[in-house]
């Protein structure tokens, strides 16, 4: 079985609609695909409606979190699978973070404009098209303005990576693990050692999160070096956590293909068995 547990649609910063994404999953030869948009479940219904018969759909999200145990605090991403999308506390927290994303994007645009750069909030909002607003939408405006060649360049230090970096108000990671569990979901730490994207949390935090209900670690991911993948696998094994692999597919604004990294069938079955929010749809 080919199982890819991390992909984005136009409900956040992917470039395929949820319907196009599930079709692309089947075309890529996947048996299982998880739709995991940033801080939203808006893609769940359109993905479910368009699901090809042979593809199992795991409904999920990628939560914007932060570890406040160190100054400055460190942002991180938590994948959440098969949670109840009507669980009130989690729904409210997702909405709050999406609101903070809008404010942050507006502030980044203001700072760009203050430096004479011709991008507008209307343009950026248009790229997000009603989905969760993210920095890749601002990157697209910078590409359109001819200032950078691609999304990767837009995340370099002279642009979104540092000079025009503004924090959003993410969810405390311990709160997020608790809210996901209370909603019957299964929390997995996304790309926990992606050092090329910025500072990462220490292993000691992962030990604490495991005790707090974390279920697994995403090990095989394009943002991890081979050494980082091995390290994450070792950590997971030592803590009794599962280790997953996934593409983190975003469509055409990143190079990675659906199914570029995959999760073992036994790990997938353990995730499904641990979930109590919503079922997997399909075979």
Q: Which residues bind Zn ion (CB under 5 A)?
A: 62, 248
Measured from the Cβ of residue 87, the count of other Cβ atoms closer than 10 Å reads: 18
Q: Rounded to whole angstroms, how far apart are CA atoms 70 and 201?
A: 9
State CA 240 to chain mean position distance. 23
Asked if 221 touches ligand AMP (CB under 6 A), the answer is no
Contact yes or no for 36/79 (Cβ under 8 A): yes
Query: Restricting to residues 244-273, which ones interact with ligand AMP according to CB under 6 A?
Result: 250
Query: Restricting to residues 154-183, which ones interact with ligand AMP according to CB under 6 A?
Result: 155
Q: Rounded to whole angstroms, how far apart are CA atoms 263 and 16?
A: 22
Rounded to the nearest whole angstrom, what is the least distance from the CB of residue 37 to Fe ion in the complex? 8
Rounded to the nearest whole angstrom, what is the least distance from the CB of residue 116 to Fe ion in the complex? 28
Cα atoms found within 13 Å of the Cα of residue 135, Cβ hemisphere only? 20
Nearer to Fe ion, 113 or 196 (CB): 196
Nearer to ligand AMP, 10 or 151 (CB): 151
Q: Rounded to whole angstroms, how far apart are CA atoms 24 and 19?
A: 9
Asked if 13 touches Fe ion (CB under 5 A), the answer is yes
State CA 266 to chain mean position distance. 22
Nearer to ligand AMP, 131 or 134 (CB): 134
Site size with ligand AMP, rule: CB under 6 A = 10
Asked if 210 touches Fe ion (CB under 5 A), the answer is no
Contact yes or no for 164/111 (Cβ under 8 A): yes
Q: Which stretch binds ligand AMP (CB under 6 A): 21-29, 45-53, 134-142, 224-232?
A: 134-142
Asked if 199 touches ligand AMP (CB under 6 A), the answer is no
- 197 interacts with, out of ligand AMP, Fe ion, Zn ion, none, CB within 5 to 8 A per kind: ligand AMP
What is the per-residue binding string for ligand AMP in 37-56, x denoting contact by CB under 6 A? -x------------------
Rounded to the nearest whole angstrom, what is the least distance from the CB of residue 248 to Zn ion in the complex? 4
State CA 162 to chain mean position distance. 21
Nearer to Zn ion, 39 or 62 (CB): 62
Contact yes or no for 94/100 (Cβ under 8 A): no
Nearer to ligand AMP, 66 or 250 (CB): 250
Residue with token string 């709160």: 175
Q: Please name the residues in contact with 234: beta carbons below 8 A apart, sequence gap of 6 or more.
A: none
Residue with token string 């599962």: 242
Contact positions vs ligand AMP (CB under 6 A): 13, 38, 134-136, 151-152, 155, 197, 250
Using CB under 5 A as the criterion, which residues of the chain lie in contact with Fe ion when the complex forms?
13, 77, 190
């Amino acid at each position: 079985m080919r199982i890819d547990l991390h992909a984005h649609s136009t409900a956040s910063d992917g470039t395929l609609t949820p319907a196009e994404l599930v079709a692309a999953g089947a075309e890529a030869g996947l048996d299982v695909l998880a739709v995991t948009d940033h801080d939203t479940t808006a893609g769940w219904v359109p993905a479910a409606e368009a699901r090809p018969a042979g593809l199992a759909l795991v409904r999920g999200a990628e939560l914007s979190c932060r570890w406040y145990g160190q100054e400055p605090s460190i942002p991180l991403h938590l994948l959440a699978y098969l949670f109840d999308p009507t669980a009130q506390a989690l729904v409210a927290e997702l909405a709050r973070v999406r609101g903070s994303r809008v404010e942050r994007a507006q502030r980044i645009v203001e700072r760009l404009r203050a430096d004479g750069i011709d991008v507008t909030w209307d343009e950026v909002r248009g790229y997000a098209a009603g989905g969760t607003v993210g920095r890749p939408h601002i990157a697209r405006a910078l590409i359109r303005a001819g200032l950078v060649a691609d999304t990767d360049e837009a995340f370099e230090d002279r642009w979104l990576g540092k000079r025009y970096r503004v924090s959003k108000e993410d969810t405390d990671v311990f709160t997020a693990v608790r809210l996901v569990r209370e909603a019957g979901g299964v929390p997995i730490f996304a790309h926990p050692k992606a050092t090329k994207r910025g500072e990462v949390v220490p292993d000691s935090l992962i030990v604490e999160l495991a005790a707090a209900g974390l279920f697994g670690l995403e090990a095989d991911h394009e943002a991890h070096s081979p050494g980082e993948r091995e390290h994450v696998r070792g950590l997971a094994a030592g803590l009794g956590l599962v280790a997953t692999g996934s593409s983190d597919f975003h469509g055409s604004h990143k190079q990675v293909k659906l199914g570029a990294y995959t999760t073992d069938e036994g790990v997938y079955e353990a995730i499904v068995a641990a979930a109590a929010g919503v079922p997997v749809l399909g075979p």
